[in-house]
Amino acid sequence: MEISIYGVEEVGSYSVRCSCGQYWRGRALPMQNGSYNPAMPLAEAVVHFRLLHATARLEVVFDEPYSFWLQRYWESVNRDMQALIEQ
């Protein structure tokens, strides 16, 4: 099974498409710094997979904008954590 995630960091919108034919859209949770947390589509994809395709092998595919959003989020969180450690 393949699940594809498409996302727009600037507005926090995303869509998820499963190879079974299901498709949904959503909006990511806003964070205090005005950006959006990209975790919601991943969580929804995992829940969909576990509930409907538990015995299949999962492959998750990101479009380029969503990949960039994840990378920026990861770097930001790591920077914030490092700053807290150094205090």
Structural domains for the chain: 2-86 (3.30.420)
- Could you tell me the pLDDT band of residue 81, with boundaries at 50, 70 and 90? confident
**pLDDT over threshold 90, residue 33:** no
Q: Model pTM?
A: 0.86
Other residues' Cβ atoms within 10 Å of the Cβ of residue 9: 18
Per cent of the chain over pLDDT 70 is 100
In this predicted model, which residue has the larger pLDDT, 61 or 79? 61
Question: What single string gives the DSSP state of each residue in 1-50?
Answer: -EEEEEEETTTTEEEEEETTS-EEEEEPEE-TTS-EETHHHHHHHHHHHH
Backbone phi, psi, residue 38, to 5°: -80, 10
